Structure 1
Amino acid sequence: MSASFDIDLNDPARGGVFFVTQDDIAALDKAAGKYPLRSLHIDLHGCTDKTSLMRHLNDALHFPESFGDNWDALADSLRDLSWLKASGYLLLIVHGETLRDASEEDFDTLLDVLDEAAEHWFDNQTPFFAFVALPESAFDEADA
């Protein structure tokens, strides 16, 4: 499914949470170079539950020391990001299937939190995109 992306990553109205393949991440990262966005890479390889998810996200996003390692703290932090000064944010999340397969509930909650963050940033006219990479087979299953 690898493709070149012709999406205006500078348009807050286009923001949100999107599923892509692992191969699409490089194209998205390249496309992001055209815009003054903060591109943040999050690797969920080995992430099997909420505890490891919070650790992976903290490692990638460098949350403040006061980060509480819970869903509310994650939601608050993703709606702030003041320590990562930028005109917009592009989260490139790889190996999403690791968490999805190990804990579907935590994966779904993560998607909800990301979606709420995208809505917040839209309301503030700031681009916010979260691209979650899944294997090609996940799209084959969805088409079946």
Structure 2
Amino acid sequence: MNATDLRSVLADAEHSGAYFVADTDTEAMAQAGAALGYAVLRIDLAGCTDKTELMRRFATAGQFPGWFGGNWDALADVLGDLSWLRGDGYLVLVEHASDWRAAHGEDFDTLLDLLNEAAFRWAEQDTAFWALLPFPAEQLAALDD
């Protein structure tokens, strides 16, 4: 997909959500989000050992306010607000998500649910919120099975 097509897809708030993408597209996705004027949050989960560390990485990347409580409910709250970030939409790139999924399957499912819920809430306000989870091609193909 070329850059123009990618920006067209990401500009459509109605189809926002959490999606698995090829890890080779990570940079193109980040650039397309920036070109659209979105706040781009890159959360790298490489070596992330537990939920506490996951929350810390989200908080750091998203510049979360001091009231962030570091639990699932607090994450849902901040993803539904993001008023401290400037942007015409939001692009959350959760890098190395395959490692987190392999080690923390139930927490991964919870995270995916929260990201999708945030996208649906933002879409109701006609604001794009994309949560993209880059996976290696061989793992991405297995997700389709």
TM-score (normalised: structure 2): 0.90
Match of 1:114 in 2: 115
Per-residue CA deviation, residues 13-42 of structure 1 (Å, 9 max, x unaligned), is 121111012211111122224312111111
Q: Contact between 1:48 and 1:98, CA under 8 Å: does it hold in 2? A: no
Letter in 2 for 1:18: Y
1:10 matched to 2:8: no
Rate the CA distance shift 1:143–1:118 in 2: closer, same or farther, 3 A: closer
Match of 1:56 in 2: 57
Rate the CA distance shift 1:75–1:140 in 2: closer, same or farther, 3 A: same
Q: Contact between 1:49 and 1:106, CA under 8 Å: does it hold in 2? A: no
Aligned-pair Cα RMSD in Å: 1.5
More helix by share: 2
Q: Could you tell which deviates more after superposition, 75-84 or 33-42?
A: 33-42
Structure 1 runs not aligned, ≥5 long: none
Letter in 2 for 1:35: L
Determine helix, strand or coil for the equivalent of 1:23: helix
Match of 2:80 in 1: 79
Q: Contact between 2:20 and 2:140, CA under 8 Å: does it hold in 1? A: no
Distance apart, 1:143 and its partner CA = 4.7
Q: Could you tell which deviates more after superposition, 42-51 or 4-13?
A: 4-13
Match of 2:27 in 1: 26
Determine helix, strand or coil for the equivalent of 1:91: strand
Rate the CA distance shift 1:11–1:98 in 2: closer, same or farther, 3 A: same
Distance apart, 1:142 and its partner CA = 3.2
1:141 matched to 2:142: yes
Structure 2 runs not aligned, ≥5 long: none
Rate the CA distance shift 1:142–1:86 in 2: closer, same or farther, 3 A: closer
Per-residue CA deviation, residues 52-95 of structure 1 (Å, 9 max, x unaligned), is 11011111111101100100000000000011122210111110
How far apart in 2 are the matches of 1:30 and 1:85? 16
How far apart in 2 are the matches of 1:18 and 1:27? 15
Q: Contact between 1:47 and 1:53, CA under 8 Å: does it hold in 2? A: yes
Determine helix, strand or coil for the equivalent of 2:93: strand
